[in-house]
Structure 1
Amino acid sequence: MSGTATRSAACSSDGSSEGMPGSRGYTTMKTPSLNKGLGFSKVERETLGLKGLLPPATLTLGAQVELTIQELRRKSSALDKYVFLQSLQDVHSTLYYAVLSRHTHECMPFVYTPVVGEACQKFSQIYRHTPQGLYLSMDDRGQLRSILDNWPVDDIRAIVFTDGERILGLGDQGVDGMGIPVGKLALYTACAGVDPSHCLPVTLDVGTNNQGKLNDPFYIGHKRRRLIGADYDAFVGEFIEAAVDKYGKSVMLQFEDFGNSNAFRLLHHWQEKVCCFNDDIQGTAAVALAGILGSTALTGTAVENHRFLFLGAGEAGAGIAELIAYAIHIETGKSVEECRKQIFMIDSKGLVCKSRLHELQHHKLNFAHDVAHMPDLLTAVKTLKPTVLIGVSTLAKSFNQPVIEAMSANCERPVIFALSNPTSKAECTPEEAYRWSNGAAVFASGSPFDPVELNGKNYVPGQGNNAYIFPGIGLAAVACGATRITDLDMYIAAKALAKTVEQDRLDVACVYPHLENIREVSLKVATAVAANKYATGQASVLPQPANLEAHIRSVMYEPGY
């Protein structure tokens, strides 16, 4: 694919129409996907009417990337770096994606976690006026299909959409949650080469129950309590049906940061009808499963021989637990119901168990086993003797020293995944996990942490970042025209990711690959998932390419002039 996107602008920022005398060059520079800054050649400056609009020097894209990364490094705060990158995307998108693609490891924290959490909290204050996606309001009911026509690109293949109810571990951010779809789709491009012109971020503004937002005079969304019930479902359904009608049955729809009360229901309702997945439920599950599969090289214990305990029983925890049970089912042939018996969950009221059936939410019921109720994590660790402890609770420091020491007593190399985001919500730090386990823990977190040195040995904590999974899923869906995304796809993606972990990472107790290699990792994930789409008859790009990996590589976007 070309390094420049195909979208065009109808008018420039000063209101002059494209095609008016003298406006063509100015409009080109004001169109983010067409702008090259000082990268325009002398011939282009002549033919596009750019002479006089630029100083005479020319700079290659590589030189522009170097200048941009230097300026990014001079910014004083993480939020300043986020705003700088978003502003760059607004004015010079090819350069933006080139910076992200060539400095992915350095830029990712300022495009997504952990900084995107603060950005969403302050989104109304830092909002810039260049459209980065569509805001669809509950006042627009009945008009959503026609509003999609306002977006300047018709060939949309990947949509990330949110209603802002459960942003990371921060709760309801309303329309300010738009930072999540924007950031996720930026990573689709940076991490997997999905053409940005084919991507559309969407926020469904159904109101907010965040009183701080409702009281904020500068809040940019509707100041109303959240739409609920049948009206809410109808609004979400209208959007999904409008998107499929506009963009076709293979448009991929990624649910993002929906609240527990809606996320499972919407996924179960739509996953057999359209090409969709929920990243918080399924993407998080796949990346966590990949870490567990990868840990076998360090622990010697296969997934089916582990005993799992979750702190946190929301959509992320339930999603991971269900995919682990599915993986054990695939590996052993046992029923999924039998496999769930190896998995236990703790919520705010203690151990999920049969004696609490009357009060449990539907997504917890499958893990309500016939065991005695236990009120706290430490008791459960000592009694159930898990070998894998997974934190998805947003309860900072809940994996304390007694808990880690009890896990270490259960097995030689306990697997400790503190997956809550942002960093401030992590159940423990890697330094704590390594120190309290005397270096035995196999650790991963949801947000990035620095390497740790303990007793003369270096440890690199793995980041169970969904960016290892969802960009590859998206690339596969786009490359083969997937019509569905299934649990089997997520299992296959997890296995493919686990296979990319090289020995030098395992040597420092890390169960995830280098982020510097993320595009090649995404290619491997995409190839495995796309192969399954063809094998199951759920691909619409036909016939199947003879060399699937080469085909997928050929459609990966490379920023360039």
Structure 2
Amino acid sequence: MSAAASLSSHEPHLPHGVELLRHPLLNKATAFSEEERDQLGLRGLLPPRVVNLELQVERVLAQLRCKSNDLEKYIFLSALQQRNETLFYKLLIDHLEETMPIIYTPTVGQACLEYGSILRHPRGLWITSNDRGRIASVLRNWPQTNVRVIVVTDGERILGLGDLGAYGMGIPVGKLALYSACAGVHPSECLPITIDVGTENPRFLDDPFYIGLPQKRVRGEAYEALMDEFIAATQEVFPGCLVQFEDFANHNAFTLLEKWRDRICCFNDDIQGTAAVAVAGLIAASKETGKPLTDQTVLFLGAGEAGTGIAGLFVRALVEAGMSEAEARKRCWFVDSKGLLVAGRDTKLPSHKAPYAHEAPQAATLAEAVERIRPTALIGVAGIGPAFTPEILQRMGEYNHRPIIFALSNPTSKAECTPVQAYEATGGRAIYASGSPFAQVEIGGRTFRPGQGNNVYIFPGVGLGVLAANTPTVTDTMFLAAARALAAETTPEDLAQGCVYPKLTRIREVSLKVAQATVVEATRLGLARNDLGATPEDAISALMFQPSYPTLVTD
């Protein structure tokens, strides 16, 4: 699908001259043909040589590589996206392993921390607590009317960095870039939104250059009313659009998901997307350990959105394999800020923690919990940095021939351990995955390619499948189907290199498989309002955006 094809029904006229050069979805820069330059008022506004898209990619790649650090590269790519989206996405797709760590984790974390100072041109919509009663009109200010995917955050829990307020906009912008690059959702159908209700971050409240509302966060009934109006407005202005909740604090994340999951097409990537990519990793790792999924016992460091989300989907997978739900939950243990989560430890546990408070003696530390539980898998999602010590990793290696070690916290500084630490402590026997990318590792004469348990393997493909099937809601079983599809794409060669995920270079192929699994599950549930047939892969593939320049004039 070309940019022109997507926009044709929404453009009253084809822009000319400078206006055309400022249109990021139609701008071709030096790739405008001689005929286009004459007929579209571009003669003299561009350097005289006409070059093709492939040569433009080579040029911008060389420019990118000249930048002195990753933040400068992020700024460069953001500017490119703002002026020429076709070139931006062609560069991303052709060089994803090099560019994804820049447009998303880990660099996006630093970009969010410094968002006010690096902002060159606003992208997305900021909706504030001052917009009560007029949110629909704010949404209508967005120039595209064919929005099908919204990624929204309120900036309170950005990655492992905490409350970044309005600076959290880097997250939905980055996520939607991955929707287009990795799953082919057209850029014109994507809308990043930040809900700015204030911040508790004293650094920003005291900063005269902070770009958001300089106030403490609105909470309670006022916050709930704002979010209710926001959700209603999205469905009024963009009927049936998919809403992806991103980086909300625990309480709001669970509350919003439970309130809306059966009423609109929505999901929470931190809860459900993280769960699917982690469960996919566990399924793939089980092939290497020689133990089926039903023989795995998982100990989580962190009992928030990510941890309990993974546990919930893991439990669902075990139940479908024939285990009772009660027994399946006993395969999941948690360590939070108060130690091992056990029955009777707290008088009142949050609803997302309560199912995993098992009868057992207390353990004050992660090391004690590892000794007591002797898990087959250790998953870190607490965002507190290097917590998997050499001693803990060694114990995991003593209890398991192939210990599963997933250090999933982002950005890199928050990772529970590095792959080198995991491999060295276990004699190269650990099956390791991380949230941020790490380079390959040489240990004992063997080369390991650490897997990155990045949600990009899941959310773009699930989103594509949901849009293709036109489902009214998104279910947990769709995410389990997506997890299984992702695990199936991990090859024996990947596993031999110590990687439980496919290579990122295959991401569009993998996203297509994930989308197909999502559609098949939606059809099984009777939720697919579009009939894509028994094997929907070709129909889904035909919907995927391919970055190429449209011909804007004819001879």
Please report how far the alpha carbon of residue 474 of structure 1 lies from its aligned counterpart in structure 2 after TM superposition.
Answer: 1.0
2:18 maps to which of 6, 19, 26 = 26
Other-structure match for 2:57: 65
Other-structure match for 1:76: 68
Give the whole-Å Cα distance in 1 for the aligned partners of 2:255 and 2:18.
48
Give the whole-Å Cα distance in 2 for the aligned partners of 1:391 and 1:382.
16
Other-structure match for 2:94: 102
1:123 maps to which of 101, 115, 127 = 115
Give the whole-Å Cα distance in 1 for the aligned partners of 2:298 and 2:358.
13
Q: TM-score, normalised by structure 2?
A: 0.97
Give the whole-Å Cα distance in 1 for the aligned partners of 2:16 and 2:35.
15
Counterpart residue type for residue 469 of structure 1: I
Give the whole-Å Cα distance in 2 for the aligned partners of 1:74 and 1:504.
34
Measured at CA, do residues 492 and 82 of structure 1 come closer, stay the same or move farther in structure 2, by a change above 3 Å?
same
Other-structure match for 2:207: 216
Please report how far the alpha carbon of residue 404 of structure 1 lies from its aligned counterpart in structure 2 after TM superposition.
Answer: 0.7
Q: In the alignment, does 2:538 pair up with 1:550? A: yes
> Secondary structure at the residue paired with 1:224?
coil
Q: Deviations over 1:263-296 (max 9, x none)?
A: 1111011101011000001100100000000012
User: Where does the alignment leave 5 or more consecutive residues of structure 2 unmatched?
Assistant: 550-555
Other-structure match for 2:409: 420
Other-structure match for 1:139: 130
Please report how far the alpha carbon of residue 245 of structure 1 lies from its aligned counterpart in structure 2 after TM superposition.
Answer: 1.4
Q: In the alignment, does 2:492 pair up with 1:503? A: yes
Counterpart residue type for residue 55 of structure 2: A
Counterpart residue type for residue 513 of structure 1: P
Please report how far the alpha carbon of residue 544 of structure 1 lies from its aligned counterpart in structure 2 after TM superposition.
Answer: 3.0
**Contact 2:182 2:460 (8 Å CA) reproduced:** yes
Give the whole-Å Cα distance in 1 for the aligned partners of 2:384 and 2:162.
13
Other-structure match for 1:280: 270
Other-structure match for 1:152: 143
**Contact 2:532 2:539 (8 Å CA) reproduced:** no
Counterpart residue type for residue 190 of structure 1: A
1:166 maps to which of 148, 157, 160 = 157
Instruction: For 1:311-390, list aligned pairs within 5 A.
Output: 311-332=301-322, 334-390=323-379
> Secondary structure at the residue paired with 1:537?
coil
Q: Deviations over 1:44-74 (max 9, x none)?
A: 1111111111121011001001111111111
**Percentage identity across paired residues of the two chains:** 49
Counterpart residue type for residue 187 of structure 1: L
Counterpart residue type for residue 490 of structure 1: F
1:40 maps to which of 32, 54, 73 = 32
Q: In the alignment, does 2:162 pair up with 1:186? A: no
Q: In the alignment, does 2:447 pair up with 1:458? A: yes
Give the whole-Å Cα distance in 2 for the aligned partners of 1:209 and 1:102.
40
Counterpart residue type for residue 2 of structure 1: S
2:502 maps to which of 494, 513, 517 = 513
**Contact 1:5 1:197 (8 Å CA) reproduced:** no
Measured at CA, do residues 479 and 325 of structure 1 come closer, stay the same or move farther in structure 2, by a change above 3 Å?
same
Counterpart residue type for residue 463 of structure 2: G
2:476 maps to which of 478, 487, 503 = 487
> Secondary structure at the residue paired with 2:346?
helix
Other-structure match for 1:14: none
**Contact 1:534 1:544 (8 Å CA) reproduced:** no
User: Where does the alignment leave 5 or more consecutive residues of structure 1 unmatched?
Assistant: 12-16
Give the whole-Å Cα distance in 2 for the aligned partners of 1:228 and 1:5.
43
Counterpart residue type for residue 554 of structure 1: A
Instruction: For 1:175-254, list aligned pairs within 5 A.
Output: 175-249=166-240, 251-254=241-244
Counterpart residue type for residue 428 of structure 2: G
> Secondary structure at the residue paired with 1:357?
coil
Q: In the alignment, does 2:434 pair up with 1:445? A: yes
Give the whole-Å Cα distance in 1 for the aligned partners of 2:426 and 2:3.
48
Please report how far the alpha carbon of residue 336 of structure 1 lies from its aligned counterpart in structure 2 after TM superposition.
Answer: 2.3
Give the whole-Å Cα distance in 2 for the aligned partners of 1:203 and 1:397.
30
Other-structure match for 1:52: 44
Counterpart residue type for residue 525 of structure 1: V
Counterpart residue type for residue 72 of structure 1: L
**Contact 1:209 1:226 (8 Å CA) reproduced:** yes
Please report how far the alpha carbon of residue 415 of structure 1 lies from its aligned counterpart in structure 2 after TM superposition.
Answer: 0.2
Please report how far the alpha carbon of residue 547 of structure 1 lies from its aligned counterpart in structure 2 after TM superposition.
Answer: 4.1
Please report how far the alpha carbon of residue 357 of structure 1 lies from its aligned counterpart in structure 2 after TM superposition.
Answer: 3.2
Give the whole-Å Cα distance in 1 for the aligned partners of 2:13 and 2:429.
64
Counterpart residue type for residue 236 of structure 1: M
**Contact 1:387 1:414 (8 Å CA) reproduced:** yes
**Contact 1:286 1:323 (8 Å CA) reproduced:** yes
Other-structure match for 2:84: 92
Other-structure match for 2:287: 297
Counterpart residue type for residue 66 of structure 1: E
Please report how far the alpha carbon of residue 24 of structure 1 lies from its aligned counterpart in structure 2 after TM superposition.
Answer: 2.3
> Secondary structure at the residue paired with 2:321?
helix
> Secondary structure at the residue paired with 1:355?
coil
**Contact 1:381 1:403 (8 Å CA) reproduced:** yes
Alignment: residue pair count: 549
Give the whole-Å Cα distance in 1 for the aligned partners of 2:511 and 2:291.
26
Give the whole-Å Cα distance in 2 for the aligned partners of 1:216 and 1:329.
51
Give the whole-Å Cα distance in 1 for the aligned partners of 2:374 and 2:546.
49
> Secondary structure at the residue paired with 2:126?
strand
Most deviating of 228-237 and 461-470: 228-237
Give the whole-Å Cα distance in 2 for the aligned partners of 1:395 and 1:359.
24
Other-structure match for 2:547: 559
Please report how far the alpha carbon of residue 460 of structure 1 lies from its aligned counterpart in structure 2 after TM superposition.
Answer: 0.9
Q: Deviations over 1:406-433 (max 9, x none)?
A: 1111111100000010001111000000
> Secondary structure at the residue paired with 1:197?
helix
Counterpart residue type for residue 64 of structure 2: L
> Secondary structure at the residue paired with 2:267?
strand
**Contact 1:4 1:94 (8 Å CA) reproduced:** no
**Contact 1:5 1:196 (8 Å CA) reproduced:** no
Q: TM-score, normalised by structure 1?
A: 0.96
**Contact 1:18 1:27 (8 Å CA) reproduced:** no
1:257 maps to which of 247, 263, 276 = 247
Q: Deviations over 1:97-123 (max 9, x none)?
A: 111111111100011000000000110
Counterpart residue type for residue 253 of structure 2: A
Give the whole-Å Cα distance in 2 for the aligned partners of 1:143 and 1:7.
27
